[in-house]
Amino acid sequence: MIRLDNLTKVFDTPKGAVTAADHITMEVPSGEICILLGPSGCGKTTTLKMVNRIIRPTSGKVFINDEDTTGLDTQDLRRSIGYVIQQIGLFPNMTIEENITVVPRLLGWDKARYQERARELMRMIALEPDAFLKRYPSELSGGQQQRIGVARALAADPPVMLMDEPFGAIDPINRAVIQDEFLKMQQALNKTIMFVSHDIDEAIKMGDRVAVFREGRLVQYSTPDDLLAAPRNAFVESFLGEDRALKRLNLVKVREVVSDEIGTVRPGDTLEQALARIDDFGYQNSILMVNDRRQPVGLITRALARTTKGYCRDHFQNVPATVALDDDLRKVASLMFAQDTTWLPCVDEEGRVCGQITQRAMTHHLGSRFRPTQEDDAPPPDAATRE
């Protein structure tokens, strides 16, 4: 857990005092990723760097796991916090192994222990230990270097990590890969993480909570879904972008919206029966045909069923696409647009049909989260109170 209590930084500049962070009070619960989000100069980086005293707070306190860090020795404090920066900052004069083990060595671990730890970390970041440990940073690609940067921060297994735009300098394709890898690692590691970003999409993807900063103040602190559904003010709203409803699609899984009621036909049914079922269920265009194991095998269209006689197995069309329960709605929407359809069958892990998802259900789900908060201006309970 990281708790900031009225953390403030005032810089003395030739033009006068500038308040970079103004009474920031917030708490990151254990095991969660909190994204500090905002435009440049909003105070998010200053706030992050006050946690490990790269920037010394003017006033206010930082608590880590309920312990006031004010009294701690600066070096001890920093060694107990993982730190990842955008420029990566691997030491070019050290091998990968020396880079990764630098904190354990500072802490005085014995050699066997930190060497074993280095191998363990390399496996965790999916780089072959034997191939990489003896190489130098300049021999690695940017993406590999940042994985090493993350491994270095994790080396002494700190409970808390600070990450300053860690994936900002990596190309978009590799960035997505590293983000996914990192989230997977986090599921196992459960670190408490503060993570600076100026990228709203990254914030939504990575964050359990998002803190939006503006001009040194914490404007809104809530879950990504609440943030997108109920931006606190016009600034947050404009920062999130006009497509924020679409961004929320990323956050919702099919299983939250799926309707398990779906009418189907069998290959052995007649088209007449199929037409009856289409009407029974009120489907507009077509009905799904499944095999004995309830796997989707085809579509029977209303137009065809009305004009043709015979069995379903002889007159079906291909199923355009199916979605899985853990897919997000963004993928579903994309498939619907691409296939020009308003519904898609949903399958479970074994590929059996377990329901359907309709465009209407999706818009209803998003809308139901928007509506009450738009009518009622009261802030959500977990939001920051300062404005």
Partner 1 sequence: MELIQYALDNLELLTSRTIEHIALVGVAVGIATLTGVPIGIAITKNERVAKAVLYVASIIVTVPSIALFGIMIPVLSLIGQGIGYLPAVIAVLLYSQLPIIRNTYTAIHNVDPALREAARGIGMSQNQRLRMVEIPLAVPVIMAGVRTAVVLNIGVMAIAAYIGAGGLGTFISRGISQSDPRQLIVGAVAVSLLAIIVDYSLLAIQKRLTPKGMERAAETA
Contact window for partner 1 (CB under 8 A) among 13-21, 100-108, 242-250, 358-366: 100-108
Binding flag, residue 90, partner 1 (CB under 8 A): yes
Which C-beta is closer to partner 1: that of 137 or that of 296?
137
**Where do we find the tokens 């600066």?**
74
Q: Which member of 17, 106, 126, 131 binds partner 1 (CB under 8 A)?
A: 106
Going by C-beta distance under 8 Å and a sequence separation of 6 or more, which residues neighbour residue 63?
1, 2, 3, 4, 5, 69
Of 306, 375, 296, the C-alpha closest to 343 is 296
Which C-beta is closer to partner 1: that of 153 or that of 383?
153
Which C-beta is closer to partner 1: that of 92 or that of 172?
92
Task: Give me the phi and psi of 228, to 5 degrees please.
Answer: -75, -35
Strands (E) across the chain are located at: 2-13, 16-28, 33-37, 59-64, 67-68, 81-85, 160-164, 192-197, 209-214, 217-222, 264-265, 286-290, 296-301, 323-324, 343-347, 353-358
Contact window for partner 1 (CB under 8 A) among 102-110, 291-299, 345-353, 370-378: 102-110
Binding flag, residue 92, partner 1 (CB under 8 A): yes
Q: Which member of 63, 136, 235, 370 binds partner 1 (CB under 8 A)?
A: 136
Q: Which member of 11, 91, 281, 337 binds partner 1 (CB under 8 A)?
A: 91
Which C-beta is closer to partner 1: that of 87 or that of 368?
87
39 strand-pairing partners: none
Q: Which member of 59, 87, 190, 233 binds partner 1 (CB under 8 A)?
A: 87
Specify the pairing of strand 286-290 against strand 296-301.
Answer: antiparallel
Binding flag, residue 214, partner 1 (CB under 8 A): no
- Distances in whole angstroms, Cα of residue 98 to Cα of each of 111, 156, 299, 316, 326: 11, 13, 60, 63, 40
Chain positions 53 to 82 lying near partner 1, rule: CB under 8 A, are: 54, 74-79
Which C-beta is closer to partner 1: that of 20 or that of 227?
20
Going by C-beta distance under 8 Å and a sequence separation of 6 or more, which residues neighbour residue 206?
33, 35, 179, 182, 183, 195, 197
Per-residue mark of binding to partner 1, 137-176 (x: CB under 8 A) = xxx------------xx--------x--------------
User: Applying CB under 8 A, which residues contact partner 1?
Assistant: 52, 54, 74-79, 83, 85, 87-95, 102-103, 106, 136-139, 152-153, 162
